Structure 1
Amino acid sequence: MTYPCQKAALANSAVLFSSILPAFAAVQRRARSIGLKWILTLAISAIFISGTSYFILTSYFLQKESVSLSLSPQQASSAPASEVYVANGTITELVNLMGSKGLMFYKSETGAPNSGPEGLFSNSDVIIIKVNCQWDQRGGTNTDLLKELIQLLLDHPDGFVGEIVVADNGQGRGSLNWPRSNAANESQSAEAVVSLYSGEHKVSTYLWDKIASTEVQEYDLGDLRDGYIVSPNEDHTTGVRTSYPKFRTAKGTYISFKYGVWDPATKTYDSGKLKIINFPVLKSHSIYGVTAAVKHYMGVISQPLTNTHDYVGRGALGKVMAETRVPTLNILDAVWINAIPGNGPDTTYGEATRTNLVLASTDPVALDYWASKHILLQTATLKRYANSETLDPDGQSAFGTYLRNSMEQLAAAGYEYTMDESRITVYIAGVTQG
């Protein structure tokens, strides 16, 4: 167990048992002294039944809790501005909202809806949909949304002839085939979704966990192996050694996350052909307060080779983003969120709250800022959770600190991302507005 929040999740699950151990020992001593060892048996049974009941309760019966949030559109008053798009429940509504405001999903000259010459995705792009696969239940990216997103990409008005790869690095505990997934039908895993399309289209999965401990060189140096490229030097500001995957897809395409699609015949990269859709879940984090678009790049790096998690607070993931490849689009799954401060990133069905929202932005920092402040923090406040300040991007908590430091790393690379709310325009569709 190499990932700190995995250890935190294990610790959380043991809290109940560790808290009763002293009393348990006392009962055992008393039982010996009076010959009533059956008391010990009853105690063990009670603990087991209580723990099992809690698991069943949080996993199955507390799944329908929702909140009604007060959300308002806003117009940026300062430049340069970033846009955040907020829609009710579906990727289709989100894409329609983006298109109505001038951000076209499809790159096309056809004049079809949501398309234009400056659109985001052409029909021949190789698109990595970077999901969250480290956790089951509500901790992973919603597979109903994933299915809808893949279908929208395949429905390109010019006819899709590119490739889609659903990928993530769960740092040793990831799975794209969880039996209990984040979906209306909990058995619908990411693998199950992809299998619906992989026969007729170039759609596949790749679990980067399996190559996370393999250090390799780039394709142009003659190394065709799958694995991770690792910078030989630590960044002097963040302390991070940037790392990223290179791999051959199930359809035979060679991809360098940093340099793009590799052509082994011409021995050249096509950087513009590779697009990233960054697709995390909005939730709390036991160490860093909030995990969303920026923190989601922990699933790009190799933790075993670089120990990047220790440097997140210094802006390491902003540095990784800047040095490798920024997302073409960030889509934030907020259908079910974990607004319990310090409780995530693993999230059971019972711990999640339904807000039924889907958000997008080309600015991951602005997206994280607005979503945490107006969705996550507002939900925690409505539900009267303690320690909600850990979800506040304006504070000096771990979250606010790492987001600001990440933004500074991206700014140094020329990306004008923002945490200044006066520079954020928010568009809302299909949502009751406050």
Structure 2
Amino acid sequence: MPKETRRKFIRDAGLSAGALALGPLFRANRASANGWMGKVFQVDETRGVLSDGGFGGLDDLFSLMGRHGLHFYQTNSSGPISGPDGIIGRQDVVLLKVNSQWDDRGMTNCDMVRGLVQRIVEHPDGFDGEIVFVDNVQFKAVSDCFGWQTHTNSESRSLNYRDIIEDFSSQGYKISGYDWRTSNWRSGGLDVVTDPDDHFTDTYYHDPDNLSEHYPRFTTEHGTRVNFRHGIWTGSEYDNSRLKLINLPMLKDHQYKTMITACLKNYMGVIAPSYGDPWKIEYHDNFQYKVGKMVGGTRFPDLNILDATWVITKDGPEGYATNAVEVGTLIAGVDPVAVDYHAGKHVLFPLSSNNRHHPDNSNNLHTCLTSALTDLRSAGYEVMPSLEDSSYTLLTNQTLDVGMWRLY
């Protein structure tokens, strides 16, 4: 796996410190066509909260991607962080799929997420789109999964997603959160139905022909009608080009089924929970076999950003700080299989020494990744061809140093 040091990256790119503050990303469908599958980007020793509201590690990650021609902003003109092949257009509806089921160190880093929102609204053409925090926290008995009042995964230990939503909303941006929990778990939650979308009722759709897995259809606080699979309803048709999905999991141990929480496991917060569902799908019992169909049959992410600023090494998916290691790493890629394979093998396993985190072993993680790889490739997605280091390329800003990690 070829690596690229931060010093060499800066020298070869000819970037100033200011230019390093931002950088490009990519759209999954375009990246697939241009050979970006199997690329994993990693930034270590992440810088934290910046004075302009950004997150230094995220900016460095964008810059690393920019070095390789991947653009964050979708614009007609080309620049270091923008171009026609960019991911975020000025009028896009951007879904941020966070981990919000658990508090403490078990949720996606709130400072990093705030930095992402900051960069989205700084679109060079002026952001006139919408941002929606989304998750399905299933059985978790919390009134607002975006507004945890206990300790959060942030420098202040109190910043939550609701704070971010309210802050940017007060600045005039269209930003909100949507809790996808079903009526089984939340009063007024979504029912799972087989009816066609009436473009009004918020529901989960179950496809009786099994052409897709369950997915949500909902209206945002700002009146935008979203079909997770087909895009934005314009009143006469779906516009799939303006709906973007950024998958934002955090890396942690998971004691059940997948053995780790990362990009693929984050889709358990997309589909409808299936305890006792009438169609006998039983997602929870068969997740390691179904996850590829969940991703490929609903909506493939435009980008995965895996938060490993803090990593939960045991007793997951809960996020107790006593089980957290401060790693200071962000990992990204279009290919969720490659990101998960790399993160389990080369980030989580060296910390935990737990064989269930090593994807080359005969375990549920290996089963999950193999199943996802097979199903996604069958669906036409160019994910890594096999589960081995030689099947993906790691691009990083520096050499990993286990000695920098601190256990709390």
TM-score by length of 1: 0.75
Find the residue that maps to 2:321 and give its secondary structure: coil
Instruction: Give the one of 119, 124, 131 matched to 1:157.
Output: 124
Structure 2 CA distance, aligned partners of 1:432 and 1:251? Answer: 44
Count of equivalent residues:
344
Q: Does 1:377 align with 2:346?
A: no
Amino acid paired to 1:151: Q
Listed one character per residue, the Cα deviations across residues 377-427 of structure 1 (whole Å, up to 9, x for unaligned) are: 11123xxxxxx1100111111111111101111011011211332131111
Q: State the Cα distance separating 1:139 from its structure 2 match.
A: 1.0
Q: Does 1:268 align with 2:237?
A: yes
The 5-angstrom pairing of residues 212-361 of structure 1 reads 213-216=190-193, 221-233=197-209, 242-264=213-235, 267-287=236-256, 288-304=258-274, 305=277, 307-314=282-289, 316-340=290-314, 343-361=315-333
Whether the 8 Å CA contact 2:138–2:182 is kept in 1: the answer is no
Q: 2:38 aligns to what?
A: 82
Q: Does 1:91 align with 2:91?
A: no
Q: State the Cα distance separating 1:106 from its structure 2 match.
A: 1.1
Structure 1 CA distance, aligned partners of 2:229 and 2:322? Answer: 38
Amino acid paired to 1:189: N
Structure 2 CA distance, aligned partners of 1:112 and 1:196? Answer: 29
Whether the 8 Å CA contact 2:344–2:357 is kept in 1: the answer is yes
Q: Which runs of 5+ in 2 are unaligned?
A: 5-34, 47-56, 184-188, 403-408
The 5-angstrom pairing of residues 9-28 of structure 1 reads none
Whether the 8 Å CA contact 1:99–1:115 is kept in 2: the answer is no
- Cα distance change, pair 214–326 in 1 and its aligned pair in 2 (3 A): same
RMSD of equivalent CA atoms: 2.2
Q: State the Cα distance separating 1:105 from its structure 2 match.
A: 1.1
Q: 2:30 aligns to what?
A: none
- Cα distance change, pair 313–221 in 1 and its aligned pair in 2 (3 A): closer
Whether the 8 Å CA contact 2:215–2:229 is kept in 1: the answer is yes
Listed one character per residue, the Cα deviations across residues 69-126 of structure 1 (whole Å, up to 9, x for unaligned) are: xx9728xxxx885211111322111111111111111111333431111111111111
Listed one character per residue, the Cα deviations across residues 315-344 of structure 1 (whole Å, up to 9, x for unaligned) are: x1210111111000000000000123xx21
Q: Which runs of 5+ in 1 are unaligned?
A: 1-70, 236-240, 382-387
Q: Which has the higher helix share?
A: 1
Structure 2 CA distance, aligned partners of 1:72 and 1:374? Answer: 14
Structure 2 CA distance, aligned partners of 1:244 and 1:409? Answer: 18
Q: Does 1:118 align with 2:85?
A: yes
The 5-angstrom pairing of residues 159-198 of structure 1 reads 159-173=126-140, 175-179=145-149, 180-198=151-169
Query: Based on CA coordinates, which of the two structures has the bigger radius of gyration?
Result: 1
